[in-house]
Amino acid sequence: MGVIIINFKAYEEGFGKRGYELAKATEEVSKKVDDYLAIAPPILDLPEFVSSLSIDIFAQHVDAVNYGSNTGRITPEMLNEKRAKGSLINHSERRLRLADVDFIVSKFRELGLTSIVCTNNIPTTAAAAALSPDYVAVEPPELIGSGIPVSKSEPEIVENSVKSARDVNPSVKVLCGAGISKHEDYVTALDLGAEGVLLASGVVKAKYPKAALEELVGLR
């Protein structure tokens, strides 16, 4: 069984009716496979999805702040109150300082939330693993949205990221992302030692998202 987390990002397709349809399709597909499927929708959709779906819902971002004078920020406690499962942290499109990542991971641990720290190469994967998040997701930025799967074009990044993370902290699980869209990409990632994948456009921007998701998990 592998892990598949779908980041809706802020694509036009990630909002409104289409976004909910994809979320519902993910729930339906999750019931047909042994894999763990979860989504990270836009923050404004999160409360609705949590209340109406049985799958886990992650935030796309969280800020390294406590309650207080922090206008426009999202605190870990807010996500906990809204019953989010956890959050992506330090995505390449929303970078954070290492100290901020450390703050969030520690706070998530206190709150019982799941942390997914995104990295871009092997050294940063090792550094992130030292903070003891639940997951590290390695995504070379140049391959994000490219349609070129990291698991095939740069398999050494996945394999060595898994090794470096385990050398630092064996309990940290490694996901890979960037360009993942097909079942063979997913299987290759698992064969390279990853626990699963973090992906976005391969499903979210597909003409038929549910069909793309079914293909990804091997139902087609």
Catalytic residue, chosen from 77, 81, 139, 142, is 139
Give the position of tokens 């390695």: 138
Q: Can you list the positions of beta strands (E) in 41-90? A: 56-59, 86-89
What's 143's DSSP letter? G
Quick check: is 139 catalytic? yes
Catalytic residue, chosen from 91, 154, 214, 215, is 91
Answer for the pair 111, 78: CB distance below 8 angstroms, yes or no. Answer: no
Give the position of tokens 């470096």: 164
CA dihedral 116→120→121→124, nearest 10 degrees, is: -60
CA-nearest of 74, 148, 124 to 104 is 74
Quick check: is 61 catalytic? no
Distance set, CA 13 to CA 16, 22, 36, 209 (Å): 8, 9, 23, 10
Active site residues: 91, 139
